Amino acid sequence: ALVGTVVAAPYGKFRGIALVVGGGNIEILFEESILDSIVNIRYDLRKRGIPVRDVAMAWKDLDPVNAAEALTDTPVFLFNATRDTIVPGECTFELYRAIRAPKEIQWFHAEHDLFYLPRHRIPQKVFEYFTALQSVTP
């Protein structure tokens, strides 16, 4: 979903966008995520004395929060997990607030594994979302 927002925002030709376990604000993500690669990056930055804020500024053009501001007409549906430690909830709220298009968020009592565990039925929910969207979009 991090990449999806950045890729979809400039084009504006989509009927809708579904983002699963997504968020924005690179600074918060780098400070709080427990994803192994991000933990390693955070450790390396601290060892080198480089503030996470500096990295976030360098990456600002790839931050979904900044890209999401271009989403003004394309409906966005977010599927997120309440116990996600990879994409912290605050990152999700930052992205949600940045989207100016019609939007909806659905929370699941789950971890980051939300997108692939069958019990959450995420592929079906995405399909249902696009089917409903197609019936109301010309």
Kindly list the structural domains of the chain, giving each domain's residue range(s) and its CATH number in brackets, ordered by start: 2-136 (3.40.50.1820)
53-78 burial: b if 16+ Cβ within 10 Å, else e: eebbeeeeeebbbbbbebbeebbbbb
Structure tokens belonging to residue 132: 């409903």
- 3-state SS of the chain: helix, strand, coil percent to 5? 55, 10, 35
The reported pTM is 0.86
Chain segment 75-128, per-residue pLDDT in tens? 999 999 999 999 999 999 999 999 999 999 999 999 999 888 888 898 899 899
Q: What is the pLDDT of residue 99?
A: 93
| Cβ atoms of residues 19 and 5 within 8 Å | yes
